[in-house]
Amino acid sequence: MSQKGYFMRKIILIVLFLSLTIGCAERASKSLSSGIESKNIIVNQAKKHFGKPYKYGEIGPKSFDCSGFVYAVYKSVGIAIPRTSLSQSKVRGKKLSKSELKEGDMVFFDTYARGHVNHSGIYIGNAKFIHASSGRANSVTISDLNGWYRDKFRWGKRVSK
């Protein structure tokens, strides 16, 4: 191979590498609400886990399932809640509608339309919530309450120490 060919191959590899890594960094920061820190300690704790992989039955710190994620985040701020989504949805307190949600509230879904809660997450404001998704993201991600989850939302709950 000539020196010119070797040099061109190196440049192409460097450009490819930079385009891939810069693109990933941009997507992650956009997904985290442009890096703006919340005044809510629960939301801030939850965002620390953004991008960690989904794994059924796990409660962290390296991977989570949906209710394990909510359980671990609340535990990290000193709030004890049950382990499963269904049990979390039954904690004491008023069932909250979408319009009543505040940052840090737990949100619950029936993703299979079977008449009971089977998914949970944490509301982060602006009609978005953070959760451990077994779907396309297969990780802790941020989703829109008015997107795919719109008709699957059941209620929220607000829990304090």
Catalytic residue among 24, 49, 116, 119: 119
Is-catalytic flag, 24?
Answer: no
Average pLDDT of 19-28?
38
User: Which residues on neighbouring strands pair with residue 66, listed in sequence order?
Assistant: none
Categorise residue 75: left if φ over 0, alpha if ψ from -120 to 50, beta otherwise: alpha
Q: Which of 74, 72, 68, 65 is nearest to 42 (CA)?
A: 74
- For residue 10, is pLDDT > 70? no
| Helix or strand run (H / E) with residue 132 | strand 128-132
74 lies in the same domain as 126 = yes
**Which pLDDT belongs to residue 38?**
80
26 lies in the same domain as 71 = no
Which pairing describes strands 140-144 and 128-132: parallel, antiparallel, or unpaired? antiparallel
Global pTM value? 0.79
**Which pLDDT belongs to residue 53?**
98
140 lies in the same domain as 76 = yes
Is-catalytic flag, 116?
Answer: no
Structural domain harbouring 5: 1-31
90 lies in the same domain as 27 = no
76 lies in the same domain as 9 = no
87 lies in the same domain as 15 = no
- For residue 80, is pLDDT > 80? yes
C-alpha dist (Å) from residue 68 to 64, 86, 98:
6, 12, 23
Residue 81, amino acid: I
24 lies in the same domain as 55 = no
Average pLDDT of 110-120?
96
116 lies in the same domain as 47 = yes
Q: Find tokens 């049950």 and name the residue.
A: 82
Q: What is the number of structural domains in the chain?
A: 2
**Which pLDDT belongs to residue 33?**
43
Structure token digits, residue 29: 């920061």
Catalytic residue among 24, 49, 116, 131: 131
- For residue 19, is pLDDT > 60? no
54 lies in the same domain as 103 = yes
